[in-house]
Amino acid sequence: MESRDEKNFIMENKSIDLTLRIMLIAGLFAWCIMIILPFVIPVLWGVILAITLFPLYSKFLILFRGRRVLASSVTSGILLVILIVPSAWLISAVVEGTRLFIESIRSNTLKIPAPDPAVANWPVIGDPIYNVWLALTTNLEASIIKYSEQILKLSDRFFLALTNFASGLGMFLLSVIIAGIFMAGSGKSGKSISSFALRIGGKQGEEFIKIIILTVRNVAKGILGVAFMQFMLLGAAFVLAKIPFAGLWAVIVLLLAIVQLPSGIVGIPVMIYLFTTREPLPAVLWSVLIVVLSLSDNILKPWLMGMGAPVPMIVIFLGAIGGMLMSGFLGLFTGAIILSLGYKLATMWMNGDIAETKAD
C-alpha cells in the first residue's frame, strides 16, 4: 500500500501537471488571439457584410445554377462598384475643390460674395457671422492672417479626417473580399454556426441566430443604407446646384447621418448660401429639394429598421446608438445585437415566470 507521503507526492505532481497544462493552453490561446487580433475588425465587418448581402447572393446563386464562387464574386463586385465609384467621385471633388481654392488664393482671385444685411438680424449667431463674413469679403488677406490659427487647426482636422477615410476605405475593401469568401463557403459556415448555437443556447440557439441576422440586416438598411442614400442624393444636389466644396459637404452629411444627427445641420448653411448668391426662384427650388432629402430619413429609418424585426425597433435603435458611442462605428452592429439578445432573454425569462405562475 502507498504511504500518505507517497499519495501527497502523487497529488502534488498531478496538480503541477494540470497547472502546467492549463498554463500552456492559456498561453497558446492568448498567442492565437494576438496573431489574429489585427484581422478581427475586417473579419467582423466581413461577417456583417456577408449577412447583409446574403439575400442578394442567394438570388445570384439561383441565377448561376448553384455556382457559389461566381455568385459571391458578382455580389462582392457589385458592392465594390457601389463603394468605389462614389468614393472616387468624392475624393476627386474634394481634391479639385481644394486645388481651386489654393490657386485662387495664390492668384488673388478668390471672391467671396458680400453677406445680406438681413444676416445680422438673425438671433444669437447673426451678428458674429455677419462681421466675420463681411471681413472676409472686404479684406481677405487680413482676415486670413487674423484667423490663421483657427484655419490651420481646421485644415489639420480636415486632412486627418481624409486620411482616416482613406484607411477606412482600404479596410472596408478587405472586408468585402472576406465577405465574398464567407458567402462562397456559406454551406459549411451555416452548419458550423448552427452547431455552435445549439451548443451554447440549446433549443433557443437557432432563434438567437435569427435575431442576430435580422438585427444586422435592419441596422445595415436603417442606418447605413439611409445614410449612404442621403450622402448620394444630397451630394448630387450640391454638385448640380454648384455649391462650393460639394464633396466635403456630402462627407459631412454621411458622417452626421451615421451618428444619427440631422443632415439639416449641413442643409442650413447651404440654403443660406443659395439665398445669398442666387435668384429667389432657383434658391427656393433647391432649398425645397434639400429640405425634403434631409428629412427623408425620418420616414425611411423607422420603416427599414422595424421591417420584420424580432424585437421592437426602439431596442435596435438604442442598441446601435449606444454601441457606437461605446465602441465606435462597429458598435452600431454589436450594440444592436447585444441589446436585442438581452431583450429577448429578458422576455423569455419573464414569460417563463408567467407560465410557471399559471401552472401553479
Distance CA 136, CA 22 (A): 70
Cell numbers 464562387: residue: 69
Task: Spell out the domain ranges in the chain.
Answer: 42-184, 204-347
**CB 329, CB 306: distance < 8 Å:** no
Helix, strand, coil share of the chain (percent; to 5) = 85, 0, 15
Distance CA 69, CA 74 (A): 9
For residue 355, the model assigns a pLDDT of 46
308-325 pLDDT tens trace = 667 777 887 788 888 877
Confidence of residue 232 (pLDDT cuts 50, 70, 90): confident
Give the mean pLDDT of 249-268. 80
Mean pLDDT for the chain overall: 76
187-222 pLDDT tens trace = 776 677 777 667 666 667 777 777 777 888 787 777
pTM, two decimal places = 0.62
Contacts within 8 Å (CB) and 24+ apart, 131-139: 136/112, 137/112, 137/113
pLDDT at 356 over 70: no
Confidence of residue 110 (pLDDT cuts 50, 70, 90): low
Q: What are phi and psi of 238, to 5 degrees?
A: -65, -40
Between 190 and 347, the more confident residue is: 347
**CB 62, CB 213: distance < 8 Å:** no
Distance CA 337, CA 341 (A): 6
Between 183 and 150, the more confident residue is: 183
38-62 pLDDT tens trace = 778 788 888 888 888 888 888 888 8
Confidence of residue 101 (pLDDT cuts 50, 70, 90): low
* Weakest-pLDDT range from 36-45, 51-60, 67-76, 286-295: 36-45
Which triple of cell numbers denotes residue 110? Answer: 478668390
**DSSP notation for 214-242:** HHHHHHIIIIIIHHHHHHHHHHHHHHHTT
Closest CA to 335 of 203, 223, 254, 227: 223
Which triple of cell numbers denotes residue 285? Answer: 427650388
